[in-house]
Structure 1
Amino acid sequence: MEIPGLPDTGGRPTLSDEARLVYQFLAEVQDGASPDDVRRGTNLSADRLDQAVDRLTTLKLLCESSQRAGTLRALPPDSARMQLVWPIVRELNRRRREVDAIREVFSELSQVYESASLHAARTSPLEVVRDLDSVRRTITQLAAEAAEEVITAQPGGARSAETLKESLERTDELLGRGVRLRTLYQHPARFNTVTTEFVRHVTALGAEVRTQSDGFMRLLLFDGEVAVTSLRDDRCGALIVRDPHMIDFMRTTFEQAWSRATPFAPEYDPAIVDRTLDDTKTAIAQLLVEGLEDKVIARRLGISLRTCQRHISDIMRRLGAKNRLHLGYLLHSRRIRERGVAPHTSADTVGASYGDVD
């Protein structure tokens, strides 16, 4: 704020040297002095003296003496400051009250807007959430509100330690409230130590976990009312679904996959290991029939490319295929889609088959 009488030099008000000199001279002369006396005592020209007197008078630091006509007298700075600053302080207080009133109005409107947005989001059949932090907050809120059952389907093989750690507290809280939790992974998750320990922990609290080779979408379904699934073009975002028809479709798809899946027991079971290996080889054969490349098949089944190619070599050996073209012919002729190709695999080959999945 600009102060009258003080020139603004770079945002910092200053008093001229001439004005300071005049004020000092008059402060030393208690009875006041005439303009001529001031001019002689300060060696200032008439013009410079007039400018200095004008500034000092504006700042309430100078006035005409009431005792001696035609003389000037210096006034105490404290008195001058009060006269000059008080109107400014009063104006600042008025402006502050205006600001507070505006803030209060907009704060109230912000609450109305947020409430309306939340209501719209809760009633909208589809909502796209783009950033990962918002997705996590949404999942945490939906989990906290769940009362009956939470369904999760997590394709992609073994789960990362960071992902499992982030969900552990939320999972414990759900199970502690008696909410049923069912989780579907892909078979390679069985051969990952971190995932196995997580499953051991949550199943002890009542969770149900199964695995399947392929054929299910990424999904979180809360009380059969709200679903969270991944976006096609954004790994960090998610689609929030509330449309009851889509929810029914997702639920039916999950139940079909769940009925075909194998229970995930943390303890090593050779028979279950053989079955999961057979399922994986059968799924690979089916995807080969569909014409998918090795890297696409590996990504679909949550295994490494090297493991996928090792399984393909084993299928070729078991069927007696001379090359990949011959393998395709044999797979079609044996009607892989209905029967599968992989006989039970010995349990002692697990390490060789899945040693690089972790």
Structure 2
Amino acid sequence: MAGTLFELPTVGELEGTAPQGHAARVEQTLLQARGLIEYTVSLHRRRPATASGLTHMDAEGTAETLEELVLSARRSVNVALTGSAALVEGVLRCLVRVPSGVTVRVLCSPAAVDVAPARLRSLPAVRVFPHELCGIVVVDGTSAFLRLGARGAGDGRAAMVTDCAAVSTLQLLYAGVWSRGRKLVDHPELSPRLRSDLTRRILEQLRSGRTDATAARELQVSLRTYRRHVAEIMRELNATSRFQAGVRAVEIGLLPKAP
């Protein structure tokens, strides 16, 4: 394909023009874009790599290809990081060597922040999205690195995407999710208490709407102990109500988004 099918808005333009009241519409667009990506990858897997604009690679070739792609940037590098430690470490090693003048944006899942919080905080433009992401690196809007392994797994399989339409779709998906991300400076440092399995189970009880007595029996703790834990969790989340605590828990990735 000789060129892109349409002109994509920049991330800044998208942020400045998308009304907040259109969140549902934006989310639907992102779901459609993701479906298109998955369809495109599936389609290209059945075609010769040289003709499809999609080149597959195993774990051995991933690091070298990723480095070459990032260091070739002349205008922009847009990154989406999952909780894969290998991907986070590999991308961060490359980003410190990006040529000056290149705009770098990093979008992380909460699990990715946990891998290297200090180094991520040293970067100028980092945001956190409360749900799991696909591992993506888009360079100059013309080529992209796409992680194909299962989420959170050590599978290092990946693909290099050079097809204009596919890269444009990835860029659009990234711009939409970036506009909904929380700035890293606003992402709380989670205490060990909030990371515990007991906290997750209590938050699930709160979200289910069970009474304190029922939840305490379910968790096999006393009613007094349960209420003390709830109060401590609310304080840690800086929440003034149980509803707000549930919302905050989803925002920072302690609970998955309700289906």
**TM-score of the pair, normalised by structure 2:** 0.53
* Structure 1 residues 314 and 251: alpha-carbon distance in aligned structure 2, compared to 1, 3 A threshold: same
- 8 Å CA contact retained: 2:136, 2:145: yes
Which of 129, 138, 143 in structure 1 is aligned with 2:65?
138
Q: What displacement does 1:172 show?
A: 1.2
Distance in 2 of aligned mates of 1:126 and 1:304: 41
1:248 aligns with 2:168: yes
Q: What displacement does 1:124 show?
A: 4.6
Distance in 2 of aligned mates of 1:170 and 1:232: 20
Distance in 2 of aligned mates of 1:136 and 1:256: 27
1:127 aligns with 2:47: no
Q: What displacement does 1:178 show?
A: 1.9
* Structure 1 residues 139 and 232: alpha-carbon distance in aligned structure 2, compared to 1, 3 A threshold: closer
Distance in 2 of aligned mates of 1:125 and 1:342: 50
Q: Which 5+ residue runs of structure 2 have no aligned equivalent?
A: 1-47, 216-240, 255-259
Distance in 2 of aligned mates of 1:166 and 1:141: 12
What is aligned with 1:237? Answer: 157
Q: What displacement does 1:227 show?
A: 1.1
1:195 aligns with 2:82: no
Which of 238, 244, 257 in structure 2 is aligned with 1:344?
244
Cα deviation code 1:241-265 (max 9, x no counterpart): 1111111111111111111110101
CA RMSD of superposed structures (Å): 3.8
- 8 Å CA contact retained: 2:149, 2:157: no
Which of 251, 257, 271 in structure 1 is aligned with 2:177?
257
Secondary structure of residue in 1 paired with 2:78: strand
Distance in 2 of aligned mates of 1:163 and 1:263: 21
Secondary structure of residue in 2 paired with 1:345: helix
Q: What displacement does 1:344 show?
A: 2.7
What is aligned with 2:134? Answer: 217
Secondary structure of residue in 2 paired with 1:173: coil
What is aligned with 2:228? Answer: none
Q: What displacement does 1:313 show?
A: 2.0
Secondary structure of residue in 1 paired with 2:97: helix
- 8 Å CA contact retained: 1:211, 1:264: yes
User: 1 or 2, which has the higher helix percentage?
Assistant: 1
Letter in 2 for 1:264: L
**TM-score of the pair, normalised by structure 1:** 0.40
* Structure 1 residues 304 and 245: alpha-carbon distance in aligned structure 2, compared to 1, 3 A threshold: farther
Q: Which 5+ residue runs of structure 1 have no aligned equivalent?
A: 1-119, 277-302, 324-340
Distance in 1 of aligned mates of 2:127 and 2:65: 25
What is aligned with 2:206? Answer: 314
* Structure 1 residues 166 and 218: alpha-carbon distance in aligned structure 2, compared to 1, 3 A threshold: closer
- 8 Å CA contact retained: 2:62, 2:158: yes
Distance in 1 of aligned mates of 2:123 and 2:132: 24
Secondary structure of residue in 1 paired with 2:243: coil
Distance in 1 of aligned mates of 2:119 and 2:145: 22
Which protein, 1 or 2, shows the higher relative CO under an 8 Å CA cutoff with sep ≥ 6? 2
Give aligned-pair identity as a percent: 21
* Structure 1 residues 139 and 314: alpha-carbon distance in aligned structure 2, compared to 1, 3 A threshold: same
Secondary structure of residue in 2 paired with 1:214: coil
Q: What displacement does 1:187 show?
A: 2.9
* Structure 1 residues 164 and 342: alpha-carbon distance in aligned structure 2, compared to 1, 3 A threshold: same
Secondary structure of residue in 2 paired with 1:344: helix
Secondary structure of residue in 2 paired with 1:257: helix
Letter in 2 for 1:198: R
Secondary structure of residue in 2 paired with 1:236: coil
Distance in 1 of aligned mates of 2:132 and 2:51: 30
